[in-house]
Structure 1
Amino acid sequence: MDNLRQSFGKFLFPAFLIAVGIVMIITSLVMDQNASFILGSTCILLVGIVSLMYSLDKITKQIQGFLTIGLVLITGLLVWKDIDSVQEDIRFADRKKEVYAQVIQRLKDLREVQLTHKKVNGTFIAEMDSLMDFLENGKLPIIKAIGSVPDTLTEEQALEMGIIVRDTIMVSVLENLFLNPDTRKDRKFTFVKDSLPYAPVSGVPFWMNAGTIESGGVNTPVFEIKDMKPFDKFDTLKVGSMNEASTSGNWSGE
């Protein structure tokens, strides 16, 4: 009975390591883990096999110790690399979120300028220089009520009674879209006019085009603006489309 217990104890640890290694390898393959995790799992399995060979008197204690230490060191290195890889993915995701928030804001700003140009002139602009010239020098008609509306009347009633009048005034596109207090207070990022044509961080100019497409039998103006050097090469941000009548961006929540 004592011999049986001794034999059981002798093989228990190697069997445990082999079982853990096999389970980890299967799990890593099923869950599509990276190569470091798979190699680490394989090393654990090999440590179990080495321990089993020693328990079966197939190798000496010195060889068993040498192989075990080597495999443990390799496993430790692979675990460290795997953890560092996960942390690097987290850092990349955090940085991407920061960068893309800035890119999205700039694409939204460019869209506002395009929509304003279409409102004034009926078309979108294909060249960035022309769009920036419109932003700096363009004028936008605004209907403004002149006079004070009494609390007892609506604006329409005050207009009919001649208490107020409406007049169309021309205002600066730049001032109206980006420099007045109402628009500035809701911005997360400070508006810098000279930086508008360029993607944040990379500094690469946005690609932009405009034209018309046939939609429902009617020629419809369209535009598209795209980040040509995205922070994540597999996730390019853009707004508008040259293939459909859309002014939406392709980011989440748009």
Structure 2
Amino acid sequence: MKTVINLVLAACVVALVYICYGSIMGPINFDEAKKEREKAIIARLIDIRKAQQEYRTMHNGAYTADFDSLIAFVKTAKLPFIMKVGSLTDDQLNNGMTEKKAMELINKAKKTGNWKDVEKEGLQNFRRDTMWVAVMDTIFAKGFNPDSLAYVPFGNGSKFEMAIRKDTTKSGAPLNLFQAQVAYDVYLGDLDAQQLANLKDMQNKLGKYCGLKVGDIEQPNNNAGNWE
């Protein structure tokens, strides 16, 4: 009988140790997994922001809510890059010369073959040439896969939610906003359910989005991420 009691007590001790260990390591393991996953997701959201900002530049300030359009843009679009040779002197600037005027004189000389005005203004070594560079070679690292933009790391094939807003400000100026986001449930749903519930409860109490998000269609925030 004494032996049975000892065995039961030993089992209870083991169970208590296991429960205590779980209560300590559970939150730690959850936080470590969360940090690892969010590091990859934040990097992807930053890539989306880069692509959207360049898309906006080439589309009269408008963003796109469609990942297919955004990915096609990244794959095929080219951005203007101005090669600058020479600069205007203080005397030239004081005399009213601007880069625009300088290029007008140079372009006129190229067409007519008459370089007297260019020489008169001292612009022989002044050049502004526009080159067109592929988006892929401009804003992303070598080997970047644009088809990955839409997909959430650790999301088991889930895609980011993306939305845009076209509006005007009180002054009548155009207002274009975008946001891309993913909820905790998408990339943390396979982890400890209680830790996830605690995290969401805390975010809700703080009035914050339960997940990661870049940009905001409710109010301008300079396309900041909610982790920044």
What band does the TM-score fall into relative to the shorter chain?
0.5 to 0.7
Match of 1:198 in 2: 151
Task: Please list every run of 5 or more consecutive structure 2 residues that lacks an aligned counterpart in the other structure.
Answer: 93-98, 100-121, 190-195, 201-209
Check the 8 A contact 2:66/2:162 in 1, yes or no.
yes
**1:230 partner SS:** helix
In the alignment of these two chains, the number of paired residues is 174
Tell me the distance in 2 between the aligned counterparts of 1:70 and 1:213. Answer: 70
Match of 2:64 in 1: 125
Alignment of 1:70-81 (within 5 A): 70-71=8-9, 73-81=11-19
Alignment of 1:17-28 (within 5 A): none
Check the 8 A contact 1:215/1:245 in 2, yes or no.
no
Inter-CA distance 156–101: structure 2 relative to 1 (3 Å threshold):
farther
**C-alpha offsets along residues 98-143 of structure 1, whole Å, 9 cap, x if unaligned?**
1111100110010011111112221001111011111111121221
Match of 2:96 in 1: none
Identity level (%): 28
**C-alpha offsets along residues 176-223 of structure 1, whole Å, 9 cap, x if unaligned?**
1114xxxx6xxxxx7322212101122311111112244344331011
**The structure with more helix, counted as a fraction of residues:** 1
C-alpha deviation, 1:80, in angstroms: 1.8
Check the 8 A contact 2:154/2:187 in 1, yes or no.
no
**C-alpha offsets along residues 8-62 of structure 1, whole Å, 9 cap, x if unaligned?**
xxxxxxxxxxxxxxxxxxxxxxxxxxxxxxxxxxxxxxxxxxxxxxxxxxxxxx8
Q: TM-score, normalised by structure 1?
A: 0.59
Structure 1 segments of 4+ aligned residues over 6 angstroms from their partners: 65-69
Q: TM-score, normalised by structure 2?
A: 0.66
Match of 1:165 in 2: 127
Tell me the distance in 1 between the aligned counterparts of 2:134 and 2:80. Answer: 9
Match of 2:50 in 1: 112
Match of 1:223 in 2: 178
Tell me the distance in 2 between the aligned counterparts of 1:125 and 1:156. Answer: 39
